[in-house]
Amino acid sequence: MEAATIKLIIISIVPVLFAIVVHEVAHGWVAKLRGDQTAYLMGRLTLNPFKHIDPVGTVLVPLVMIAMLGFAFGWAKPVPVDWRNLRSPRRDMVLVAAAGPGSNFVMALGWGVIMSLAIYFAPGLGSFAAPLALMAKVGVLINVVLMVFNLIPLPPLDGGRVAVGLLPPALADPLSRLEPFGMILILVLLATGLLGKILWPFVSVVAQFVLSLTGSGMS
């Protein structure tokens, strides 16, 4: 493995862990606010990454993605939510599902600010400026990728759950029945390269929007 790839992996650890862990905690936190204590009682409302690590999605997949494509992608163990405990299951399902992608957007903005500050204060930061700016760049990209990916309107992704909660029953019910096959379809699209072609234009637009808001650049 090349030195540059090893450096990128090391720099990516913090933003990748934060992106996928906070995403799951956000689901559980909103569920708790709406009446479901399941994730809280299981000790999942914590930023301790060891409570959320999935050996494949949190470790193996991000490492392979960085080595092959130069950016990270992954997932954590899903936070359990019992929809029956929610005060208004149909409405609250939308809020719980949207919390994950919403947290990624907020984190992308945060990393954009850090990137802007690292560039602005580069002379004072010395040798720390470039690694910090690169870490922030990874933070923006991984959070935007996770947000856009999870907003695909196909269960069991967050966007699918949002769609099921917002659509009228005549459309929501057939869509919800696709859940057992949703990830199979996603994996087929990923294997054929179509998923990247579909998502990347949206990722690029959102990333540029985030960076324009935070005054940073992504060269």
**Active centre residues (catalytic):** 24
* CA pair distance 53, 119, nearest whole angstrom: 32
Q: Give the residue from 105, 16, 108, 107 showing the smallest Cα distance to 62.
A: 16
Q: Is the peptide bond preceding residue 156 cis, with omega within 30 degrees of 0?
A: yes
Residue 13's contacts (CB-CB under 8 Å, 6 or more residues apart) are none
In terms of DSSP H, where are the helices of 53-120? 61-69, 89-120
- What is the residue-wise DSSP string for 116-179? HHHHHTHHHHGGGHHHHHHHHHHHHHHHHHHHHHHTSSSTTSHHHHHHHHHS-HHHHHHHHTTH
CA distances 39 to 3, 31, 44, 46, 66, Å, are 40, 8, 5, 10, 30
